[in-house]
A = this chain, B = another copy of it.
Amino acid sequence: MPTLHRQESVFVLELGDDENRFSVEWLKSVHSILDTVCEHDGPAALVTVGRGKFYSNGLDLEWLLANGDQAERYVTDVHELFARVLTLPVPTVAAVNGHAFGAGAMLAMAHDFRVMRADRGFFCFPEADINIPFTPGMAALIQSKLTPAAAVASMTTGRRFGGHEAAEIGLVDAVAEEDEVLSSACERVRALAGKDRGTLAAIKSTMFASAVEALRSTKS
Q: Which residues of chain A have a CB within 8 Å of any CB of chain B?
A: 91, 112-113, 127-129, 131-136, 139, 143-149, 151-152, 155-158, 170, 173, 192, 195-196, 198-200, 202-204, 206-207, 209
Contacts and interface: CB of A to CB of B under 8 A. Distances in A.
A155 B133 CA distance: 31
A168 to B, nearest CB: 13
B143 A200 contact: no
A112 B156 contact: yes
A203 B147 contact: no
Contacts of A202: 133
A152 B199 contact: no
A182 B204 CA distance: 35
Given A128-B195, A128-B203, A156-B204, 6 more contacts: A91-B156, A127-B199, A145-B148, A147-B148, A147-B149, A152-B207
Contact of A155 (B147, B151, B196, B203): B203
Given A112-B156, A195-B128, A144 B133 contact: no
A148 B146 contact: yes
B112 A152 contact: yes
